[in-house]
Structure 1
Amino acid sequence: MSSPTYSLLGLWPVINRWKSLVLGALLLAMVVSAVVALMLPNIYKSTTVFYPTNPQTTDPDRIVSEGGKLELGGRTEDLDRVITIGESQPVAEQIIKRFKLHEHYKSGPVGNDGADQAALDEFAGNLKIVHNDRDAIELTFEDKDKILAARIANALVQSIDSVNQQLTLANRRKVLELYAQRRSFLEREYKATYDSLIAGRRRYGIYGLTLESRYLAKEIIETEEELRRAEGEGNSSKAAGLRRALRGLTKTDGGNIFNLESYSAGFDQISTLFARFTDLQNRLISARSAYETARVGISGRISSIYVVQEAYPATKKSKPVRWLVVASAVLITFALSVAFITLLELYRGNLSMGRTR
């Protein structure tokens, strides 16, 4: 004996027989869903739109030293980096702490693992960051408080900007320390070389006068010529004075500060010290300039994003759509009711067939 078949058209008689139950279920679903929909809080969303800039063009060191200019970055890596930062847990925890969202979400006390995770989950559910078709970033935040939603959206942009700068310029303080160490090292070497140069000049009598060696040679030649002339004339007293003068010009123990023996002994050393002193002086000037430029650069904060539109409080709610809630509940109830009464009819039909046999 063949089993009975059923079709969609065959459901109408079944529904008609159980219409009281179906209508009652639909009416109950409508009333309950309407009450629930009315109890649901209004949710508002605020959206901010911004472009990330090329991180290389926001480096203050390059702007100060090279005269660079800001460039909007539509590169994939820039967009991905900004979205990753915005969805990161440190940024979320910072915003949750700043706006006391544990209390706002009623998730529990701060420091409790379950409460912290609940606040993070609700925060992440209310946040949406997407890359739109114009290579801009759209950041949307939803909340029951429309003013709070706008404030959080704008604060998120600021946090993203701050973290992005830290990522881009993470090593600048270390670089500044290297500049400071180089400057200190050159200052010590400069002072030591300067002291050595002064000591050498005092010891050897070489002070860097123009044509110093030429004047010394001229005096020696002239004094020696006068000595020979005095000796030839038999003027012993004059010759003795000229000998002493000649000794003073040629010997260290002759009494003259500037003499040929000291000059010859110290010329190479003083020349080397003076060359090193000049080199250190130039390097020290450059090191001081580089340190000052780096210090000015690290104290400056240049935004790494360009905000096209700030977030403003919404003028109307984004959800819930209350009529849709009611309509969905009614449709689902109707489908479940039809399924229930169909299964019930099948069960009764099978039961009747069994009794007939």
Structure 2
Amino acid sequence: MSSRSYSLLGLWPVINRWKYLVIGALALALVVSAVVALLMPNIYKSTTVFYPTDPQTTDPDRIVTEGGKLELGGRTEDLDRVITIGQSQPVAEGIIRRFRLHEHYKVGKAGDDAADNAALNEFSSNLDIVHNDRDAIELTFRDKDKVLAARIANAMVQSIDSVNQQLTFANRGKVLELYAQRRNFLQREYQSTSDSLLAGRRRYGIYGLALESRYLAKEIIETESALRRAEGEGNSSKAAGLRRALRALTKTEGGNIFNLESYTTGIDRMNTLYARFADLQNRLIKARSDYETARLGISGKISNIYVVQEAYPATRKAAPVRWFIVMSSVLITFALSVIFITLLELYRGNLSMGKPAAR
């Protein structure tokens, strides 16, 4: 027994027999879809376009100490980092709290798990962050309030920039603390060495004057020569005075602050203290400069994002496309109606073939 063959042209008699039902279904679909489309609120979208930058090129420490220039993004890691930040839950929750989107979306009060999830899902469905073919980031937000959509899009860029800066500056507080500790340590060592140097000068009589050793040697030689002449001349009183003067020039207990014994005893130590003092002085100056530069760097905030186009309130709606909704509903209803009546005709045909012929 051969099976029946069907074609699209063969459906016309079937549709014609059920034309009132099909027309009624199409009319009902037209009315319902038109009412639904008219009741749907207008949805507006606002788009902002920006380029991410390399965080190393906007490092305040590097700019202050080495100089630098802003390099626009294009690196895959920079683009991926910005998109990941924009799609992260902390950024979304911050925007939801800032603009009170729980009330705007009418999902309930903030703090309730169900309301928070509903607000987050609604927010995420209205947000698009894509990397376009020009290596820029396009951030689009949709909402029935066109002004609010633009404000949220711009606020998202600010939040992304803020989080991006926090990623690059996360350890700067610790670095600044290390700079401060190094500066304070060198300050203490510098003060301690300065006190030791002052005490050594007082003890040994070495003040670092120019040609200090030459003058001491000259004075000792001249005093000793005068002593020998006085002794040769038999002038005992003069010789005694010169002898005391020579002792004062050579012995610590002689009473002179500047004497040969103290000088030879303390010269090595004082030279070491002088060298350490000069080294600590240079290191302390550099440590203070590094600390001030680091403090300036951590207090300064340089944007890691270059905004090409800010988001503005849309001048026309993005959705819904009402004529498309109505036409789609009518076409779908027509297709379902044809399928239904065709199946119904096939079912009736099978029933009629199964009945026994009358005698």
| Interval containing the TM-score (normalised by the shorter chain) | over 0.9
SS at match of 1:258: coil
Shift of 1:175: 1.2
Structure 1 segments unaligned to the other structure (5+ residues): none
Cα distance in structure 2, aligned partners of 1:238 and 1:253: 21
In the other structure, the counterpart of 1:114 is 114
1:324 alignment counterpart = 324
Match of 1:157 in 2: 157
Give the match's secondary structure for 1:47. strand
Provide the aligned C-alpha RMSD in A: 1.0
1:175-324 → structure 2 map (5 Å cutoff): 175-324=175-324
How many angstroms apart in 2 are the aligned matches of 1:38 and 1:153?
Answer: 27
Q: Distance in 2 between matches of 1:248 and 1:153?
A: 88
The number of equivalent residue pairs is: 357
For the residue of structure 2 that corresponds to 1:142, the secondary structure is strand
Show CA shifts across 1:321-345 (max 9, x none): 0010011111111111111111111
Match for residue 37 of structure 1? 37
What is the CA distance between 1:7 and its match in structure 2? 2.1
SS in 2 for 1:134: coil
Q: CA deviation at 1:353?
A: 1.1
Residue 102 of structure 1 aligns with which residue? 102
After alignment, is 320-329 or 74-83 more displaced?
A: 74-83
Structure 2: runs of 5+ lacking an equivalent: none
| Post-superposition CA distance 1:273-322 (Å, at most 9, x none) | 11000000000000101111111111111111111110000011000000
Shift of 1:356: 3.0
Where 1:356 maps in the other structure, the secondary structure is coil
Query: 1-side partners of 2:257 and 2:51: how far apart?
Result: 74
Give CA deviations for 1:93-144 in whole Å, capped at 9, x if unaligned: 1100100001111111111111111111111110011111111111110000
Q: Hey, what's the Cα distance between the residues in 1 that align with 2:3 and 2:239?
A: 155
Amino acid at match of 1:323: W
Deviations 1:12-65 (A, max 9, x none): 111111111111001001000000000000000001111111211110111111
* Same amino acid, percent of matched pairs: 82
1:143 alignment partner AA:
D
The aligned residue for residue 89 of structure 1 is: 89
Q: CA deviation at 1:207?
A: 0.6
Q: Counterpart amino acid of 2:24?
A: G
Post-superposition Cα deviations, 1:233-268, rounded to whole Å, max 9, x if no partner, equal 111111111111111000111111111111111111
How many angstroms apart in 2 are the aligned matches of 1:175 and 1:241? 66
SS of 2:47 mapped into structure 1 = strand
**Alpha-carbon offset, residue 180 of structure 1:** 0.8
